[in-house]
Amino acid sequence: MSGNSKMIELGKGLAMALAMVTLSAGCFPDSSQTPPGATLQPPVAAQQPTAVVPPASAPSNPPAQAATPPAAAASQPGSAGAAAQPRTQPSSAQSARNPAALVYEQDSPSVVNITSVAVVRGFSGSSTQTPQGTGTGFIIDDQGHMVTNNHVVEDADQLVVTFKDGATMPAELVGRDPDNDLAVIRVDAAGNDDRNRPVRDKLKPVRMGDSSRVAIGEDAIAIGSPLGLQQTVTSGIVSAIRGPQDESLQGQVQLLGGAIQTDAAINPGNSGGPLFNAAGEVIGVNSAILSGTGGNIGIGFAIPVNVAKRVVPDLIQSGCYRHPIVGVTTIGLSQLGQALKRELGIPLNQRGLLVQDASGGAATSGLRGGNRAVNLGGGVQLRTGGDIITAIDGQELNDGGQLRAYIENNKRPGDRVTLTVLRGDQRLELQATLGERPNDQCR
């Protein structure tokens, strides 16, 4: 891939669709992040693609279709999953059709376009509404909740949802989680659309799949509003399953729960839309593409639906999602060159995370950070003499991404974990209580 490739956010506005928005690597104050400048191996040629979140499709006059949230049970608005409509059994003639045709026929009414609007107030007290962009969403329950990307709605003063039949309705922001790039919006399920028709008749929830069962090579079908073109369906396959610790994505895709990679055509405006399997189940939430042009080149990424099923109920209930944190800064031993390992007395085949600093529950557990600094040149220092974390709850660790992924996808703030550490020749088991990462949304 050329060195000019960028990761593009799919949901910001047509006016921005051709602009490249470069994302800096997220800085998470946990063992998942290498200290600034601490690339301890000679850096590879700087032709690495830069991460850019795909810009949402440009503003268009008709309100764009809204992103539908992971399906939540009708009787339990906070549960992401159950209120989906029963599916019609396809006839033998239908079964011979392309899976994308069947999925579109059955599930496209559950996909909406979302237009974000900024309200600009003048000196005289007057106000002007300016479309910020469009994205996609999907309906998750009969209470009017819909899921989309955080970057589709984060700068909006007002939101407008467009259904498949072209009818529109205002929506309100319910909650958002910037770290997972997820958000929930809601329309008034008891209200009428702009054509004075009951909205409740349009609330057809999607069926939520299980992203842990997704297989590389299976069908992947996207429905959304690329470049403002509502109700567009594209299909391809699942190209890869990327974990949060995937080294090939470092500095490119900042998704805490990993990503489903697909070659289904995804473009600016698809942000927040569903990625379906051939059975019509949502397996991901489209979020970003890797591109050197701003358009699709066959490398798209969706947030695994299991992440949405974990996060969305909290967004509906409290408006935010609380992320756990161990309270350590570490560096993976795999990032240390052999000469440096010899100098530090670390076995060349030793794996784990060298602790730089410990705070909160990690410090209370007895975990020790480095106590002396080694100058690596270029103003970069490595703190040595600290513990080496080799496992958490029995799960072996090779890099900080694995630690972050484990606690993010399996734990909550206040939970206790067991850290297996090496301290000199000693092997210790330390009990640590997870803290909560600072989060402006949860204040």
Average pLDDT over the chain, rounded to an integer: 79
Residue 50 lies in a domain: no
Query: What is the average pLDDT across 81-86?
Result: 48
pLDDT at 133: 80
Pick from 363, 141, 152, 139: which is nearest to 268 by CA? 152
Regarding whether 243 and 140 lie in a shared domain, the answer is yes
Residue 33 belongs to some domain of the structure: no
Cα–Cα distance measured from residue 330 to residue 54, given in angstroms and rounded to the nearest whole number: 30
For residue 131, tell me if it sits in a domain.
yes
* Domain coverage including residue 199: 1-20+55-321
Supply the CATH number for residue 247's domain.
Answer: 2.40.10.120
| Domain-terminating residue out of 321, 340, 368 | 321
Which is the catalytic residue, given 57, 239, 271, 287? 271
Tell me: the pLDDT tens digits for 109-122? 999 999 988 887 76
Residue 211 falls within a domain, yes or no?
A: yes
pLDDT at residue 125 greater than cutoff 80: no
Does the pLDDT value for residue 67 go beyond 60?
A: no
Based on the residue annotation, tell me whether 145 is a catalytic residue of this protein. no
> 57, 151, 211, 399: which one is catalytic?
151
> Is the domain of 250 the same as that of 283?
yes
Active site residue 323: no
440 assigned to active site: no
In this prediction, residues 223-235 reach a mean pLDDT of 88
163-167, 332-336, 353-357 — which is least confidently predicted?
332-336
Give the Cα separation of 416 and 401 in Å (integer).
19
Q: Is residue 4 part of a domain?
A: yes
- Domain boundary among the residues 289, 321, 353 is at 321
Q: Final residue of a domain: which of 321, 349, 383?
A: 321
pLDDT score recorded for residue 294:
64
296 pLDDT exceeds 50?
yes
Q: Count the domains in the chain.
A: 2
Q: Quote the pLDDT of residue 35.
A: 38
Residue 26 lies in a domain: no
Q: Which of 30, 141, 177, 181 is catalytic?
A: 181
> Which pLDDT belongs to residue 421?
97
pLDDT digits (tens, 9 = 90+) for 422-438: 998 899 999 999 999 88
